[in-house]
């Protein structure tokens, strides 16, 4: 049984930038009594063009910061960081660490024609973790992948409906539509911020899948198993931290309101 201090301690949530706010939304809904510290590493975003070693070092730095704040568990709310660093993090730290992965399994189950698309960063698509996902869950379906270079940067600036962002979305959705995908995985936590725009491009008959809800459910299960759920009855609170500028904080607030 954990001590009262540990049980009521915050949960640390980390991402390369603002994308993990889409995961935090699901976490606060699934675990309304928990306290959250969210760290956006916007000064070093995007992670998709960094080496695994660079990403690991950033994750260690952020994890240390969140643990110093008393975090009882960590959520790596970034597909690229999960692929590059979560194994090393679990070797380094003893607290529960929950990661992300593109929702290939549920997409394969949801697809009616057996063709699924995956929108993700280059780092995620090139990772061993993603290759393993395809090996385990991609059998019997056609998986069309698309790296979305530049899209994270647009979302980091709060540009959800600008011509540049819409042009990138059109460019990256086109190959998936041409292949006949009826289900598309949003394989980066930033992408749910432009889910509406993607849906308008691909049409209402295409199913879009992100993994925020599944991560929240998994965190709840782990905390419950370890008797670490907050016993308070009042709503939890959350604190926003970032490595960027005041403008980053403004965008975070803007997108947090947008996500709710």
| Domain shared by 58 and 140, yes or no | no
Identify the domain boundary among 168, 184, 209: 209
84 and 15 fall within a common domain: yes
Are 124 and 161 found together in one domain? yes
Answer yes or no: is 42 a known binding residue.
Answer: no
CATH number at residue 80: 3.40.50.1860
131 and 191 in a single domain? The answer is yes
For residue 180 the two structure tokens come to: 């006949």
**121 labeled part of a ligand binding site:** no
Has 16 been labeled as part of a binding site?
Answer: yes
Are residues 233 and 205 part of one domain? no
Task: Give alpha helix (H) positions in the chain.
Answer: 4-7, 21-30, 52-68, 79-92, 104-110, 122-125, 128-137, 151-156, 163-179, 195-202, 212-225, 246-259
Residue 138 and residue 73 share a domain: no
Cα 27 to Cα 95: distance, rounded to the nearest angstrom: 18
Identify the pLDDT of residue 4: 44
| Average pLDDT per consecutive 10 residues, the chain (260 residues; last block may be shorter) | 66 96 96 96 90 96 97 96 96 97 93 97 91 92 96 94 98 98 96 97 97 94 96 91 84 83
Cβ within 8 Å of residue 174, ≥6 positions away: none
Pair (138, 170) in one structural domain: yes
Domain span at residue 133 reads: 104-209
Residues catalogued as catalytic? 78, 188
47 is in an annotated binding site: yes
- Number of folded domains in the chain? 2
- 69 and 125 in a single domain? The answer is no
233 annotated as ligand-binding: no
- Specify the pTM: 0.90
Q: Which pLDDT score is estimated for 1? A: 39
**3-class SS at 37?**
strand
Whose CA is closest to 18, among 158, 113, 125?
158
* Predicted local confidence at residue 133, as pLDDT: 92
172 and 129 in one domain? yes
Residues 64 and 144 in one domain: no
Asked whether the beta carbons of 108 and 85 are under 8 A apart, the reply is no
Same domain, 46 and 168: no
């Amino acid at each position: 049984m954990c001590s009262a201090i540990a049980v009521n301690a915050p949960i640390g949530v980390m991402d390369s930038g603002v994308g993990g706010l889409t995961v935090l939304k699901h976490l606060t809904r699934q675990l309304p009594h928990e306290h959250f510290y969210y760290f956006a590493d916007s000064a070093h975003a995007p992670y998709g063009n960094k080496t695994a070693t660079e990403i690991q070092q950033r994750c260690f730095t952020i994890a240390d910061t969140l643990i110093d704040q008393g975090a009882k568990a960590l959520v790596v709310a970034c597909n690229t960081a999960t692929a590059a660093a979560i194994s090393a993090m679990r070797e380094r730290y003893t607290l529960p660490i929950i990661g992300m992965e593109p929702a290939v399994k549920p997409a394969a189950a949801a697809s009616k024609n057996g063709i699924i698309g995956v929108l993700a960063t280059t780092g995620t698509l090139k990772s061993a973790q993603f290759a393993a996902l395809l090996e385990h869950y991609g059998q019997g379906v056609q998986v069309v992948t698309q790296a979305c270079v530049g899209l994270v940067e647009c979302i980091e600036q709060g540009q959800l409906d600008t011509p540049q962002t819409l042009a990138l979305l059109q460019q990256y959705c086109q190959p998936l539509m041409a292949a006949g995908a009826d289900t598309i995985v949003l394989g980066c936590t930033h992408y749910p911020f432009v889910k509406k725009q993607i849906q308008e491009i691909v049409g209402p008959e295409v199913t879009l899948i992100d993994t925020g809800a599944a991560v929240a459910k998994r965190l709840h299960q782990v905390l419950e198993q370890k008797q670490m759920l907050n016993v308070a009855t009042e709503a939890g609170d959350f604190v926003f931290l970032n490595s960027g500028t005041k403008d980053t904080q403004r965008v975070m607030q803007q997108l947090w309101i947008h996500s709710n």
